[in-house]
Amino acid sequence: MARRKKIGELKDSEIECGYCDAIIPLNAQRCPSCGKYFSSFKKMVAFTIVVVIVLAGMSYFVYSSYITGQEGYVPQITPINIDPDNPDQPSADGKTIIFELKEADAPNTCANFKRYVQDEYFDDLIFHRVMDGFMIQGGGFYPGMTEKTPTYPPINLEISQNLRHIDGAVAMARTNDENSATAQFYICDGPQASLDNSYAVFGQVVSGMDVVRAISAVQTTTVAGHADVPASDVTIISARLTTQDGKTYVTLVVDF
């Protein structure tokens, strides 16, 4: 490699390497003689790395907030135009159930349920246990009775004397441990006063009781040791939060 030339002998397209005095092309980013990278190239690489790190951090914050339902994530809200004083109003398409979350009376239970809805946890699960004139239960199994693992810890039993198991009440299912509720829920088909003070009511159907009754009446069978399973899948296509007049609702779209 050519070494230092006298002043004035360098061509316009040449420069001297600041490390080994080799003559190299003007726009070179690395000296072919000593292998050193020049400061302009190092700055460009450092800037690129910083930009990538910043963008990755921003993407992770937005994505993690969305998938985990962390506070600060605000789902899109759409007016639903229902009459909450007329719970027997039929579903517009025969496959939608809308229930109000009673956040004032069951704040912890509602907050837990909202996290699962925000995470889209219920999508593609089924109503896996239905009993005509009693209730329909879902939120824990895929078709074929494959269980889905809850993503949050169990919550404590929250009983409000203002919330009873009336027709269309929505409550948390649980095991024999009263503080074991996670994601599974049920909707009453008719009043079920015997369940009061034992299970946490947290919502009330305001539209689509015709759908609840239709699901409740489907033919059932036993699958993998589970009784009262619909013979044909009753699938929750989606569960989404909506608001109207300052109240929060859950809209379930089902297919059966």
Identify which of 155, 194, 161, 159 has the alpha carbon closest to the alpha carbon of residue 174. 155
Q: 217 CB contacts (<8 Å, ≥6 apart)?
A: 132
Q: Which two tokens stand for residue 117?
A: 């809805």
Using DSSP, how many helices (H) and how many strands (E) does the chain show? 3, 14
CB 152, CB 116: distance < 8 Å: yes
pLDDT one-digit tens code per residue, 83-123: 777 767 777 777 999 999 999 999 999 999 999 999 999 99
Question: What is the rounded end-to-end Cα distance, in angstroms, of the chain?
Answer: 79
The domains found in the chain, sorted by start residue, are 14-68 (no CATH), 96-255 (2.40.100.10)
Structure tokens at 10: 């360098």
Strands 169-172 and 14-16: unpaired
For 51, phi then psi, to 5°, come to -60, -45
The torsion angles phi and psi of 40, rounded to 5 degrees, stand at -65, -40
Q: For 1-43, write each residue's pLDDT tens digit.
A: 444 454 456 666 666 666 676 776 656 666 767 766 555 555 5
In which element (H, E) is residue 108 found? helix 107-118
Question: pLDDT, tens digit, for every residue of 40-79?
Answer: 555 555 556 656 665 665 555 444 444 344 433 333 434 4
